[in-house]
Structure 1
Amino acid sequence: MSIDPSTSVAPARADRRPAVTVLSGFSPAAVQAAARALLIGADRLLAISHDLTGIRHGIVRRTVRSATALIEQSTVEPVHGCVSCTLRDDVLPTLVRLARTCPDSDLLLVLPPAVEPETVATACARCLVDGAPVTDAVRFDSYVTVVDADRFLGDLASSDDLRDRDLHAADDDHRAVAEVVAHQVEFCDTVILWSRPDTDPVELSRLGTLVHRLAPWAVQVPTGTTHSLDCTGLTALVHGTGRHDPRRPGVLGLALEGRPIAVHAPSPDGVTSIVFESRRPFHPQRWHDALGTLTGDALRGRGQLWIASQPDAVVGFECAGGGVRMDGLGYWLAALPVERWTRTSDDRRLAADLGWDPYYGDRRTVLALIGLRLDAAAITGTLRSCLLTDAELADGMDRWRQLSDPFAGCFPLTGDHAEGN
């Protein structure tokens, strides 16, 4: 049999860029232990870490090490003394520099406790190093979060701010501990469940269920079930997996692209996950008044919604640590001229087209509430009571805009992000 050369396909070129694994977690001891295990398990892996304890005083300490040697230890003075500046001015340039000087080594970027992995991904998308994208030099292979079985639930349920634990990165850093912990798990594609042989199996099972409810898209890798750690086995499950999908949006953008934000399921472990969906908008005052009831017992809430008085705005919703955050995510496509739809992602336009409603367009509420032994029926009933009634719907959008609105002015549709994702 002969082969026509004109129809043959050239083999794909091997990607020779060093692979970067980003390792995060709120327990420094567990993260550092996992980093050491990965270094032992991979011959050509270099770990880069930054000590931010002095960042508010303009000092950052950078360390680069292999399994057997300390390669670099330097003090860096960021121009503005903030996390974003450190990422732009030192972390990303260090990755690029090491990729050039050690092209046969993969890289393990070990994040400090209060740094969220999505911040790294955002910086990579926006920052250039020597005039070129960071991804010209390296490929981000996976985002891994270490969950400490002894601490995770306590941190997720905590009402502390980072400031209460002296972990805030700047004077204006008002993030909650629970918010950071949730974000670290939600953005990752792999979760290392770091436990010890004496960890209660029932508690470990509940932890695995809770992590799955927070990040059903992530692969779980348990450790600590025996008295010795198989570093090679752990590394094989974590390093070089290619699990990171650079197209996957942050958690608040998932529903806009038609992706699931959680699973709707009770659990024999007592972990409850409730997903609520509706085409109807919320009445602004009733939604405002119900927030305390809805979020009081939830460990985590997230999603998108729309409010009748502001029908053009996509509203992102989060709750953690007893606090609630609502941010504008831009316009609904139904509120934009068609020629502006191209400014959004292909996946969002496809999701809108598949679920388009002749009256509401792509407007829809998708919320998830996750916690322990939540009353799903009561929470769903409360959410439904916040929606517009049939009579209120019949009044039409012009009347909706005149409703009493505690959120007036909170979601302005101006600026670079007006089109959303």
Structure 2
Amino acid sequence: MTDLRPRVTVLAGFAPAATDAVARSLLVTDPSLILVAHDLTGVRDGVVRRTVRTADRVLEEGVTELVHGCVSCTLREDVIPTLVRLARRHPGRDLLLALPPAIEPEAVATVCAASGVDGVVRFDSYVTVVDAETLLDDLTSTDELHHRDLHAAENDHRGVADVVCRQIEFADTIVLRNGPDDRVSSLLHRLAPWAVQAPAAELLRTGRHDPVVPGMPGRALEGYPIGIDDAAGAMLFHSRRPFHPQRLHDALDDLTAEALRGRGQLWIASQPDVAVAWESSGGGLMLGNLGLWLAALPTERWDEASDMRRLAADAQWDAYYGDRATALSFVGFDLDVDRMTALLRSCLLTDAELAEGTDQWRTLPDPFDGFFPLDDERIPQIKGVRP
């Protein structure tokens, strides 16, 4: 049967001029296309301005007042109702949702998945527009969003590099503006090898969006690729044995300084039950709790995890380690892969330390003690987004 739901193309990008130029070109290419755009400059004061337009006229202009000035509130209380209203008011016309610079497309996908809006519209593609002239400066920036007055709330301490990376990584399609630039194009491929790099003219009605897309911290746990290996600027590091907590902590500055972007999962010997997320960019590092490894749970609880999580664990199960494994991806320019690999290996437990067993591992000096509090009821379930 033909799916008659209007298609939604989500357009993200940290450079507003480049994103706006792509949005305008799409409106000209398809006069029936309806653009939805939001101005979040007043979101910290609880005000969001919305404009809905076609290539030749403005259909709506409105202001939404939010009780709490936050991005999630904006998405839930204005974006979703707007998409539903337009889909019903203009049947047969596709929609273009252009996100403000500091919005991460994964947040849109997550909120839409929970809202049930997919019963009214279908998400066709998540597109990120990249400005070749500003990308490298943004990826190497140590700025937080508030340094550029782009923060969504007073407690929004996201880094510029973090947001730019996440916008690129969640995309199924990337448009490079102010290019072509072979160096930047190669970097984008390393950051998001799963994304198609395409000109703006090829964006509409692509059907590229995978309806089940884990966010970057959970990709490896769910069996999805997190990067590529190439000699010029990308590497993957895999290990079944755990990291020594003190040696890993001592190497963090070197590891984060060497690469533009690092991501993946790891485990440390002193806390062998927890899967740890790694995200680094702009010289900063975020370590998070992805939950318990399946090997740390009784088998009768494994069916509480997602199907993809269980399949990935089964495919790589080890008789000694279970599903515990480190999988890290690093991306940069002229990345010294041999040095990075040697540094990471030096942080792993030695054969002698490994032979001492988990009881002894838990007594190792641990600078990460208390970083990843465990809840006995928590399971390693990374939910895919289903827009």
The verdict on a shared fold, with TM-score over 0.5 as the criterion, is yes
Q: Is residue 87 of structure 1 aligned with residue 75 of structure 2? A: yes
Structure-2 residue corresponding to 1:217: 194
Say which SS state the counterpart of residue 60 (structure 1) adopts: strand
Say which SS state the counterpart of residue 94 (structure 1) adopts: helix
Q: Is residue 322 of structure 1 aligned with residue 299 of structure 2? A: no
Which moved further from structure 2: 184-193 or 255-264? 255-264
Match of 1:137 among 91, 110, 120: 120
Q: Distance in 1 between matches of 2:278 and 2:381?
A: 14
Structure-1 residue corresponding to 2:307: 346
Cα deviation, residue 125, structure 1? 1.9
Structure-1 residue corresponding to 2:219: 254
Match of 1:167 among 130, 142, 150: 150
Say which SS state the counterpart of residue 26 (structure 1) adopts: coil
Cα RMSD of the aligned pairs, angstroms, is 1.2
Larger RCO: Structure 1 or Structure 2 (Cα < 8 Å, ≥ 6 residues apart)? 2
**Normalization by structure 1: what TM-score?**
0.89
Task: Decide whether aligned partners of structure 1 residues 415 and 181 sit closer, same or farther in structure 2, where only a CA change above 3 A counts.
Answer: farther
Displaced runs of 4+ in structure 1, greater than 6 A?
none
Cα deviation, residue 417, structure 1? 5.3
Q: Distance in 2 between matches of 1:416 and 1:206?
A: 47
Q: Distance in 2 between matches of 1:310 and 1:388?
A: 13
Structure-1 residue corresponding to 2:234: 273
The residue type paired with residue 81 of structure 2 is P
Q: Is residue 334 of structure 1 aligned with residue 295 of structure 2? A: yes
Cα deviation per residue 1:283-319 (whole Å; 9 max; x = unaligned)?
0111111000111121100000001011110100000
Instruction: Judge conservation of contact 2:36–2:51 (CA < 8 Å) in 1.
Output: yes
Task: Decide whether aligned partners of structure 1 residues 65 and 417 sit closer, same or farther in structure 2, where only a CA change above 3 A counts.
Answer: farther
Which moved further from structure 2: 109-118 or 407-416? 407-416
Q: Distance in 1 between matches of 2:281 and 2:86?
A: 37
Q: Distance in 1 between matches of 2:47 and 2:94?
A: 27
Q: Distance in 2 between matches of 1:342 and 1:37?
A: 47
Could you list the runs of 5+ residues in structure 1 that have no partner in the other structure? Answer: 1-12, 128-132, 223-233
Cα deviation per residue 1:333-353 (whole Å; 9 max; x = unaligned)?
111112221222212211111
The residue type paired with residue 375 of structure 2 is T
Q: Is residue 298 of structure 1 aligned with residue 259 of structure 2? A: yes
Cα deviation, residue 153, structure 1? 1.0
Cα deviation per residue 1:246-304 (whole Å; 9 max; x = unaligned)?
2121112111122221001023xxxx001100001000111111000111121100000
Task: Decide whether aligned partners of structure 1 residues 192 and 416 sit closer, same or farther in structure 2, where only a CA change above 3 A counts.
Answer: farther
Q: Distance in 2 between matches of 1:81 and 1:393?
A: 50
Instruction: Judge conservation of contact 2:271–2:362 (CA < 8 Å) in 1.
Output: yes
The residue type paired with residue 249 of structure 2 is H
The residue type paired with residue 217 of structure 1 is W
Q: Distance in 1 between matches of 2:23 and 2:371?
A: 42
Q: Distance in 2 between matches of 1:416 and 1:162?
A: 35
Instruction: Judge conservation of contact 1:309–1:401 (CA < 8 Å) in 2.
Output: yes
Cα deviation, residue 43, structure 1? 2.6
The residue type paired with residue 245 of structure 1 is D
Match of 2:36 among 48, 59, 62: 48
Q: Is residue 178 of structure 1 aligned with residue 143 of structure 2? A: no
Q: Distance in 2 between matches of 1:415 and 1:107?
A: 44
Q: Distance in 2 between matches of 1:146 and 1:100?
A: 28
Structure-2 residue corresponding to 1:230: none
Instruction: Judge conservation of contact 1:329–1:417 (CA < 8 Å) in 2.
Output: no
Q: Distance in 1 between matches of 2:377 and 2:352?
A: 37
Task: Decide whether aligned partners of structure 1 residues 297 and 419 sit closer, same or farther in structure 2, where only a CA change above 3 A counts.
Answer: closer
Could you list the runs of 5+ residues in structure 2 that have no partner in the other structure? Answer: 383-387
Instruction: Judge conservation of contact 2:309–2:381 (CA < 8 Å) in 1.
Output: no
Instruction: Judge conservation of contact 1:254–1:261 (CA < 8 Å) in 2.
Output: yes
**Normalization by structure 2: what TM-score?**
0.96
Identity of aligned residues (%): 60
